[in-house]
Each structure stands twice: as C-alpha cells, then as structure tokens.
Amino acid sequence: MKTIPSPRSAGHLSAVNIRIVNLTGGRLSRGKTIALAIAAVVFGGVFLAFGIALLATLAAIGTVVAAGMAVARLVRGRPAVPMRERPLDPSMEVFPTRGDESRRVEGGPKVG
C-alpha cells in the first residue's frame, strides 16, 4: 500500500518554507466583537434603507408614468380604457359536464 505522497516524492519538500498568515490576530476581545456586531447591524441597515428607497423611487416613477398616460388620454379625448372587441357574455361561459366520468376524475362520490 502506498502512502500519498510517497516518501520518495516528498524529498523536494524539505526546502519549502510555509508561512501561515493570520488576519484576525487570534481571539477577538469583547470590545472588538461588539464593534463588529454594531458595524454589521449598521451595514445591514444601510442596505435595507437603500432597498426601501429604491422601491419607493420605483413606485413614484410608476405613479408619474401612469398619471401622465391618464392625462394624455384625457387630452386626446379618450377618457375610458378601450373595451375589447366584445364584452364578457355570461351566456358564453362553459361549465363542465356532471357525468360519471367527471365525478370519477374529480374523486367525487358515485351517484346511481
């Protein structure tokens, strides 16, 4: 059974100098931890405020565009939204059949 890396291939590693850099400097003190928590909350609050401001801006822009379109329709003399070619007709509504097949598909009780 071979070990990885094998002892024969590890000979060139003896001249390698490995340095470990630790950015945190060890365990954080209580003051640093509190400051980091406050910074994280402030950072989140900034993002939340930015998101709310962005949504409010989009809502205001939508309101201005819709009001402009309504005013343009009034100026042109077309105050109402145009109707489709034919209005809705309740007599054209399609209802499913209430036969044995539909009851079976829908899982209803058998009649008869």
pLDDT of residue 63: 97
pLDDT of residue 54: 97
Whether 17 is in a domain gets the answer no
Whether 102 is in a domain gets the answer no
Rounded Cα distance, 42 and 12, in Å? 50
Q: Which two tokens stand for residue 60?
A: 């205001």
Whether 55 is in a domain gets the answer yes
Give the H/E segment covering residue 105: helix 100-106
DSSP sequence for 27-82: SPPHHHHHHHHHHHHHHHHHHHHHHHHHHHHHHHHHHHHHHHHHHHHHHHT--SPP
pTM check: above 0.75: no
pLDDT of residue 14: 61
Low-confidence ranges of the chain (pLDDT < 50): none
Output phi, psi for 84, to 5 deg: -70, 180
Domain span at residue 73 reads: 50-81
Q: What's the domain count of the chain?
A: 1
Rounded Cα distance, 51 and 46, in Å? 9
